[in-house]
Amino acid sequence: MISPDIRNLLARTSPEGGVTAQGWVRTRRDSKACTFIEINDGSCLRGLQVVADNSLSCAGLYPKILTGASIRVMGDLVASPGGKQAFELLAKDLEIIGEADPAYPLQKKGHTTEFLREIAHLRPRTNLLGSVFRVRSRMAHAVNTFFQERGFFYIHTPIITSSDCEGAGEMFRVTTLPQGSTAKPEADFFGKPAYLTVSGQLQGEVFACAMGKIYTFGPTFRAENSNTARHAAEFWMIEPEMAFYDLEADMTLAEEHIKYLLRVLFETCGEELEFFNKFVDKELIARLQHTLDSPFQRVTYTEAVDLLLKSGRKFEYPVEWGQNLQSEHERFLAEEHFKSPVTVYNYPRSLKPFYMRQNDDGRTVAAMDVLVPGIGEIIGGSQREERLELLEAAMIAQGLNPETYRWYSDLRRYGTVPHSGYGLGFERFLMFATGVGNIRDVIPFARTPGHADF
């Protein structure tokens, strides 16, 4: 039987029993009697070893087959005596489709990820980035199957918007006015200030309050000037929103969601996982397996602050009730205290956006963040404020004009229902799933402060 990896590489099998394979050359090695060429077409991690006898009529081409060139090989698949691979392709004939200049930058293995970012147009040809983007594709598919199997509708929320969902003022302006223009916003394309969306949530709520359970999955943009390994200016977010769900149901769905994705990861990306475990993060598989096998821990923000204060640990940022949990605090909780993902809920009202539901204590809201080892926050969500007066009071308290959000508060005027949702950062999830430590390496062309190349 032909192994699935090799099957991917074969362009076609001919009725006479021969096969054709095509791909890009990784290495070529010449010996006295024959030439060994390793080709890969990116469909799987493993390449195919081609053995081309030096007596073939195409032998004159061999010296031109340099790393990076694309070739097509016709021949027979035979059991490989080498033991390194099960099969090899014994060439009968081959052709060069496109030669590669000797300056091809991916000559040898072992480039740094920093260097590879500078050649983002070539890096998907490496084992590391090829594996990351195969995983990205399969996980994107699994995001859709998870929700579709559960009766959620996929809603495409707008990318250009006039409302700041998170109220954090981190939006990119969209305008057709000439640079330096002092014209009023009314003169602009949309007749008012417009921005790239930071979240599809508000529009998602509209659809949840009509269709029950929905999700969005699309690009979001944040102009926060934080040059960290976990922040991108353009990233993809998955945002389910469910009518009639309270915070508890929201947290349960989030846990199921992550576990579902990990199960599909183990089922469909075994080869890539082995690779990451070997070359990127030796704890990866054990950590993911542990995540699958154990229930996520749950603590309130107040309990989390107590745990941090009692930890005896010196943190760079002080721990104090009412202050944001910093990445170091989140990672302490997930990595050292609980040693597993943990959902922190009921955050101080002053730390969170206007739309979160106020708790009866008057000082916290029904917010939740899922923190995972190695990364910290991967999901942020909440139960939404369904009571009109409280919602409008929260807008005013945060300096927002309720008139601007009239359409949003209408959902509370006409048949309001408790509802909840969350946002899973797709790249943060991919970092967790692959062990890759920098968000720039799980997104095809990263946009970060100072960088929008390609």
Q: Can you give the binding site for Mg ion, defined by CB under 5 A?
A: 380
Letters for 136-165 (x = contact with ligand 4AD by CB under 6 A, - = none) are -----------------------------x
Q: How many helices (H) and strands (E) does the chain have?
A: 12, 17
Contacts of 287 by beta carbon, 8 Å cutoff, 6+ apart: 373, 374
Q: Among residues 107, 70, 105, 76, which one has the least CA distance to residue 89?
A: 76
Letters for 166-185 (x = contact with ligand 4AD by CB under 6 A, - = none) are x-------------------
- Interaction of residue 427 with ligand 4AD, rule CB under 6 A: yes
- H/E stretch holding 365: strand 364-372
Rounded to a whole number of angstroms, the minimum distance from the CB of residue 394 to Mg ion is 17
**Of the candidates 67, 126, 199, 277, which one interacts with ligand 4AD according to CB under 6 A?**
199
Q: Could you say which of ligand 4AD, Mg ion, none residue 222 binds, taking C-beta under 5 to 8 angstroms by partner kind?
A: ligand 4AD
- Interaction of residue 343 with ligand 4AD, rule CB under 6 A: no
- Interaction of residue 421 with ligand 4AD, rule CB under 6 A: yes
Smaller CB separation from Mg ion, 215 or 347? 347
Rounded to a whole number of angstroms, the minimum distance from the CB of residue 426 to ligand 4AD is 8
Give SS3 for 388. helix
Smaller CB separation from ligand 4AD, 43 or 327? 327
Give SS3 for 132. helix
**Of the candidates 26, 352, 428, 440, which one interacts with ligand 4AD according to CB under 6 A?**
428
Letters for 219-258 (x = contact with ligand 4AD by CB under 6 A, - = none) are ---x-x------xx--x-x-x-------------------
Q: What is the DSSP string of 283-350?
A: THHHHHHHHHHSPPEEEEHHHHHHHHHHT----SSPP-TTSPPPHHHHHIIIIIISSS-EEEEEEEGG
Token representation of residue 291: 């995540």
Rounded to 5 degrees, what are φ and ψ at 239? Answer: -130, 95
Token representation of residue 349: 């009202």
Token representation of residue 204: 């998602």
- Interaction of residue 117 with ligand 4AD, rule CB under 6 A: no
Give SS3 for 386. coil
Q: Could you say which of ligand 4AD, Mg ion, none residue 213 binds, taking C-beta under 5 to 8 angstroms by partner kind?
A: none
Q: Could you say which of Mg ion, ligand 4AD, none residue 93 binds, taking C-beta under 5 to 8 angstroms by partner kind?
A: none
SS (H, E, C) 97-131: EECCCCCCCCCCCCCCHHHHHHCCCCHHHCHHHHH
Contacts of 270 by beta carbon, 8 Å cutoff, 6+ apart: none
Q: Which region among 105-113, 120-128, 263-271, 380-388 touches ligand 4AD (by CB under 6 A)?
A: 380-388
The residue ranges that bind ligand 4AD (CB under 6 A) are 165-166, 199, 201, 222, 224, 231-232, 235, 237, 239, 377-382, 421-423, 425, 427-428, 439
